[in-house]
Amino acid sequence: MSFENLKGEVSTILEKEGLSVDERLLQVCTLLKEKISYYNWVGFYFVNGDKDELKLGPYVGAPTDHTIIPFGKGICGQVAVSNQNFVVPDVRAQDNYIACSIDVKAEIVVPLFKDGKNIGQIDIDSNTPDPFTEEDERFLEWVNEQVAEIL
């Protein structure tokens, strides 16, 4: 399924006012994991109050022990500091990578901004080497813009 086709489905989920924000975010994670073959783990991390750390939010995929990530640590922690997308074609080549699963080969993390402030991110792990393109980045930026509107 194309990213353009997925946009309508994402919008429909996020507009479900009868569901909590977490329920909607979980449905978005599920949709992305099911519809994009190389998205093997999809989740959101959010800034944990006034602490310099991220807290795991809704996600789908293998369970993870990484429910709290300090700013600067791992790919997610680096994005919390840099405010920039981070595409990792080969996680083994990263010195500051937090391994979640031996199967993960690549990762993409895109920050989520609300009122100009980085409040979290969407994190995608892939068991496929180097699958992410600029199209993935633009799509995930769009997803985060839509998510920010319901937060």
Q: What is the mean pLDDT of the chain?
A: 94
Query: What confidence category does residue 37 fall into, taking pLDDT thresholds of 50, 70 and 90?
Result: very high
Rounded CA-CA distance 100/98 in Å is 6
Model-level pTM?
0.94
Q: Where are the alpha helices (DSSP H) in the chain?
A: 3-14, 21-35, 74-82, 134-150
CATH number, domain at 133? 3.30.450.40
Closest CA to 9 of 30, 40, 23: 30
Average pLDDT (35-51) is: 97
Cα-only R_g, the chain: 14
pLDDT tens by residue, 83-95: 999 999 987 777 6
Q: What is the pLDDT of residue 95?
A: 65
Give the total number of structural domains in the chain. Answer: 1
Query: What confidence category does residue 61 fall into, taking pLDDT thresholds of 50, 70 and 90?
Result: very high
Range(s) of the domain holding residue 84: 3-150
Average pLDDT (117-124) is: 97
Residue pair 97/122 in contact by the 8 Å Cβ criterion: no
